[in-house]
Amino acid sequence: MTLEAFLLLAAALFAVGLYGALSQQSIVMLMMGLELMINGLIVAGGAFWYFLAPGTADGQVLVLVAVTVMALEMAMGFAVVTAIFRAREVDMTDDAGDLSG
């Protein structure tokens, strides 16, 4: 168990999540990708705390923020999907292309 091992796990989770966020058409699946990316950030935050600066709680605070962001991201995401779906029965990013402005 080293810092490198944890960061490697974080990078792997981040990359898998990035693939999902870039490739998935369905907004629900896309958000799963985002969750995985934030999951990677959480791992990195915890690892930095434990292996670099366990004396202060900064790393823990970072993880706490990331977990909160995850929950908020999901809540907002689903609210937006619901709003879009109500307006025009769309749940795929490609169909909401006019939002790209």
Cβ 101 to another protein shortest distance, Å: 19
| Minimum distance of another protein from residue 66's CB (angstroms) | 10
Q: What is the smallest separation between the CB atom of 41 and another protein, expressed in angstroms?
A: 11
Q: Are 12 and 21 within 8 A, CB to CB?
A: no
Cβ closest to another protein, residue 87 vs residue 101 = 87
Q: What's the CA gap between 14 and 76, in Å, rounded?
A: 21
The C-alpha angle 45, 49, 54, rounded to 5 degrees, equals 170
Q: Which is nearer to another protein, 4 or 99 (CB)?
A: 4
Tokens in use for 16? 């898998």
Q: Judged by CB, which is closer to another protein: 2, or 101?
A: 2
